[in-house]
Amino acid sequence: MTWNASCKDFDSSKDVHMSKRATSMCPTLVLSSVKKLYVWTLLTSVVLFVSALGYNNVRSQSTDRLAAPRDSSRVFVSDNPNTVPETPNNDQYTLQLQKEVEDLKHRIEQLELEKNTYPEVTFRSYKDRKRILVTGGAGFVGSHLVDKLMLQGHEVTVVDNFFTGRKRNIEHWLGHENFELLNHDVVNPLFIEVDQIYHLASPASPPHYMYNPIKTIKTNTVGTINMLGLAKRVRARLLMASTSEVYGDPEIHPQTEEYWGHVNPIGPRACYDEGKRVAETMCYAYRKQDGLEVRVARIFNTFGPRMHMADGRVVSNFILQALQNEPITIYGKGEQTRSFQYVSDLVDGLEALMNSNYSEPVNIGNPEEYTILDFARVIRQLVGGESEIVHKPAMQDDPQRRKPDITRAKKYINWTPKVPMMVGINKTIEYFSHELQRKKHSERNIWHPDFELQSNTDTSLDLGSNIFNQKSADVEDNLES
């Protein structure tokens, strides 16, 4: 019989015939339990008492050591009896402290020098300051656009998923009160309050947009739908960065905005070409159905600092190969033509179009046309080295001629490219050269924009063309000799 059972029987009034054995067991069990409890309490008290004595002893020794003056006569005795007592030298201790203080001062000075310093931005009151969203703002073109908008004093929000964009391109604005960076993919909806939207988000070079064709299509369709929906909700104006690739391999030359294009809808470039064509269609559907303010810029070949080193474009490929003394690769005979504009000219064109009252598509590009072979020769001469020019099979659907007609840009947004070709190429070579010299992350290669680069004269475009043609002629003369 257990304790619970015996007490239960003892307390029960129903069982009137309880045995004497059960009656006499309850007091015995109670006494036994009381003795056990008393023993455990006594043992616990002894343990706590001993622990308290030990703690007080250690605390007393620690207090004595802290309170004792630090002088040369004091002897520090180790707890280990085998250790030889040592007497510290006051002079050595002082010198060590002074050295540590000097090191801390030096570190503080370095941190002060490395703290964020921002370029001077224009002050704008709440009446003039705009809230501007730039999708793809950490990319090549987007980061230069962000620089200009920030310097003008606007509040800029950058949205980028960093597929081809890099935080390095806009890190000089991180922490500024007018700047905000969101790691976000435009294929997912975004809910913020803005006044203008520059929709630049999309991989733009063939290796990048061919890497994941479905993702490229989704970015240019679903992503554009999301940005148009945001613009509709907050009544913002949207500029969509389209491309000269909507013309495909053109059958007319130069290409005007009225030309419908010649595009292979199932070719390797179709994910980008057709994606941008659908994006333009959606922009004008929103304008017609909902009265949305839209602007469409058809961008031609652009180059400049912050280009991705491995984007596969003509300029970056040629400069990188020449700097590393590698063969300069040309696909095909090199007789295909391109028109190249410097990135600051493009940024000026995008801003002018956004703030204009013109809503039809506009070509933004440099109308000066060069063959790929001539371009490779000039870059090789500018860089130096002994890179040879090699030819490989032509790429499928590669356009043979590309030159914009910028009549609309001149007439409706008063824009023409101003940066001479050779000036832009030299600045791009300088940037790539510094990039290749980097050996560790602390060796920064931050390109600060120079918006005074543009010439104010109308002859700047001709000057660049003349210098380029002269360089190309010099190269041919050297080859013949």
Residues belonging to the active site: 272
How long a stretch of residues is the chain?
481
Distances (CA, A) of 289 to 54, 172, 238: 85, 41, 15
Residue 279 · residue 242 · CB < 8 Å = yes
Nearest of 478, 301, 471 to residue 374 by alpha carbon: 471
| DSSP code per residue over 101-169 | HHHHHHHHHHHHHHS----------TTT--EEEEETTTSHHHHHHHHHHHHTT-EEEEEE--SS--GGG
Distance of CA 466 to the CA centre of its chain: 38
Cross-strand bridge partners of residue 158: 134, 181
Instruction: Give ∠ CA 215-216-221 in degrees, rounded to 5.
Output: 95
Nearest of 434, 304, 289, 408 to residue 356 by alpha carbon: 408
Nearest of 345, 361, 348 to residue 301 by alpha carbon: 345
> Phi-psi bin for 304: left (phi > 0), alpha (psi -120 to 50), beta?
left
Strand order across the beta sheet in which 131-135 lies: 179-183, 155-160, 131-135, 196-199, 237-243, 294-299, 362-364
Q: What is the distance between the alpha carbons of residues 109 and 431, in angstroms, rounded to a whole number?
A: 29
**Both tokens of residue 25?**
């067991």
| DSSP code per residue over 160-201 | E--SS--GGGGGGGTT-TTEEEEE--TTS------SEEEE--
Q: What is the distance between the alpha carbons of residues 260 and 358, in angstroms, rounded to a whole number?
A: 19
Q: What is the distance between the alpha carbons of residues 257 and 466, in angstroms, rounded to a whole number?
A: 28
Type of residue found at 333: K
Residue 131 · residue 107 · CB < 8 Å = no
Count of H-run helices and E-run strands, the chain: 13, 13
